[in-house]
Amino acid sequence: MEAKGERRIRVLLAKVGLDGHDRGIRTVARYLADAGMEVIFTGLRSTPEQVVEAALQEDVQVVGLSFLAGDHMTLAPKVIEGLKRHGLAPVIVLGGVIPQGDVPALERTGATRVFLPGTPPEQIVQFIRSTLQQN
């Protein structure tokens, strides 16, 4: 629970690329919102540039991306590099259908955490809270 007067956690969620499967990210959006966070969802088919722009404008502490079409190795690094270029260092969480074998490479690129299929959404809420508290 957040202390009184503390700013609400702001989270940007995005579907980057052409994939239209948004059930997972919308579920996460609902759980984060129910946990008191401010959630901005940019909708389907956002480009990496649009996500970076939105992260700048909305001044978010967390960026969450969902991939279910196997294009995470191409697109996630583009978003992460774009954020870095603009001097942004949000917590970056990835989810969707991402094989375990790709996780180390994504973390090296700068993803804070990759959530694998079957992760209870509540776990994502807890992760975001505890990571932001540590910082």
Partner 1 sequence: MPDLKAELKRWQEGTLRRTLERSPERSPGFSTDSGIEVKALYTPLDAPADDYAERIGFPGEYPYTRGVYPSMYRGQLWTMRQYAGFGTAEETNRRFRYLLERGSTGLSIAFDLPTQLGLDSDDPLAEGAVGRVGVAVDTLADMETIFQGIPLDKVSTSMTINATAPILLAMYIAVGEGQGVPQTKLTGTTQNDILKEFIARGTYIFPPEPSLKLALDIVQYCFAQVPRWNTMNIAGYHIREAGADAIQELAFTLADAITYIERARERGLAVDEFAPRLSYSLGCFRDLFEEVAKYRASRRLFARIMKERFGAKDPRSYLFRTFSGSCGSTLVSQQPLNNIVRVAMHALMGVLGGHQAIHTACWDEGFAIPSESAAQIALRTQQILAHESGVANTIDPLAGSYYVESLTNEIETRAQDYLDRIDAMGGMLKAIDSGFISREIQESSIRYQKQVDSGEKVIVGLNRFQEQEDAGQSSAMELFQVDPEVEARQRDTLSAVRAGRNQASVDRVLAQLGEVIERNENVMPVVIEAVKAYASVGEITAVMRRAWGEYRSPVYI
Q: Which stretches of the chain bind partner 1, using CB under 8 A?
A: 17-23, 26-27, 29-30, 33, 39, 41-45, 47, 69-71, 73-75, 97, 99-100, 116-118, 120-122
Question: DSSP letters along 15-75, please?
Answer: -BSS----HHHHHHHHHHHHTT-EEEE--SSB-HHHHHHHHHHHT-SEEEEEE-SS-HHHH
| Minimum CB–partner distance for residue 100 and partner 1 (Å) | 5
| Minimum CB–partner distance for residue 41 and partner 1 (Å) | 5
For residues 89 and 117, which CB has a smaller minimum distance to partner 1 in the complex?
117
| Residue 64 and residue 27 in contact, taking contact as beta carbons nearer than 8 Å | no
| Minimum CB–partner distance for residue 4 and partner 1 (Å) | 25
| Residue 83 and residue 102 in contact, taking contact as beta carbons nearer than 8 Å | no
Residue whose token pair is 């759980």: 31
The set of residues, in sequence order, having a beta carbon less than 8 Å from that of 117 and lying 6+ positions away, is: 96, 97
For residues 87 and 101, which CB has a smaller minimum distance to partner 1 in the complex?
101
For residues 89 and 116, which CB has a smaller minimum distance to partner 1 in the complex?
116
Does residue 104 sit in helix, strand or coil?
Answer: helix
| Minimum CB–partner distance for residue 114 and partner 1 (Å) | 10
For residues 4 and 107, which CB has a smaller minimum distance to partner 1 in the complex?
107
